[in-house]
Amino acid sequence: MRVIITGGTGLIGRALTQSLAADGHEVIVLSRNPDKVGGLPQGARAVKWDGRSAQGWGQMADGADAIVNLAGESIAAGRWSEARKQSILQSRVEAGQAVVEAVKASTKRPRVVVQSSAVGYYGPRGSEKIAEDASAGSDFLASICQAWEASTAPIEAMGVRRVIIRTGVVLDKKGGALPQMMLPFKLFIGGPLGGGQQGFPWIHLADEVTAIRFLIDQPSASGVFNLSAPQPLSNAQFGRVLGKVLGRPAFMPTPGIAMKMMFGEMSTLLLDGQFEIPQRLQQLGFAFRFADADAALRDVLK
């Protein structure tokens, strides 16, 4: 199987590349700086692209089995100025347009395109349990996710199966949100953020990768799939589990007003949330290896 991954140097992309290559598949990782992409396993290679077109790599989509579009500028790399918001949006839309361009030019279409998105699509939802049929939110993150998902929609008219993955917080000790979350606990000042009742949809990195591969391999899988563990927790509940695993207390709350002063509008990443349910994934028969947060964290931090 030949798989092309945009955003393949990120947390999910690297793990997916390792998993596919380990099973003997050919993996093409698109990067603006391929010479600086190190640590790729045998069977994987980095190919240069400009992040906004199919120039230099589009021909590789011809006969490819799958394209996994994970590309997009980090939403947590700095405060959300208007310029930064535009950059976050543009990076996602242009990457999706590049995928469409490559698919359109191909003689033999890829079997499937996996389009990345996030739980932020739903906006802040209180205590409501959110399956894939829930409506979109109206805040900045929701608008970004909607545009991100729409960026590759034209491939469906070309007869290509498209899967959209709305991912929660991916747990890994080397990247993503978890290393930052652990710091206050290690300093004995860990606890809930804001009120602590906001949903915290999480997924172990191993389950994220396995789910993506499962959806690539399932011919009947198309449309939206929530990628998060079947037992979502509140922020406070997750904090208690994390504190327990680390052997640290989890009673020191961080006031929401302090988070807003520190991060501005970006504080919504910490103070708002969703209780996302992977309903469609489970209906297809996907079995989570880590459905329990305690077991997931113990594995990640072992």
- Asked whether the predicted pLDDT for residue 259 surpasses 90, the reply is no
Q: What is the mean pLDDT of residues 209-216?
A: 98
pTM score of the predicted model: 0.95
CA dist 204 and 289 (Å) reads: 9
Per domain, the residue ranges of the chain are 2-171+202-228+278-284
Give 11-41 pLDDT, tens digit per residue.
999 999 999 999 999 999 999 999 889 889 9
Q: Which of 198, 209, 143 has its CA nearest to residue 170?
A: 209
Q: Which of 50, 119, 60 has its CA nearest to residue 90?
A: 50
CA dist 32 and 48 (Å) reads: 5
- Asked whether the predicted pLDDT for residue 65 surpasses 90, the reply is yes
In sign, the C-alpha dihedral spanning 278, 280, 282, 288 is: negative
Percent of the chain with pLDDT over 70: 100
Q: Which of 166, 154, 171 has its CA nearest to residue 116?
A: 166
- Asked whether the predicted pLDDT for residue 253 surpasses 90, the reply is no
Q: What is the mean pLDDT of residues 5-9?
A: 94
- Asked whether the predicted pLDDT for residue 147 surpasses 80, the reply is yes
CATH architecture designation of domain 2-171+202-228+278-284: 3-Layer(aba) Sandwich (3.40)
In sign, the C-alpha dihedral spanning 198, 121, 283, 207 is: negative
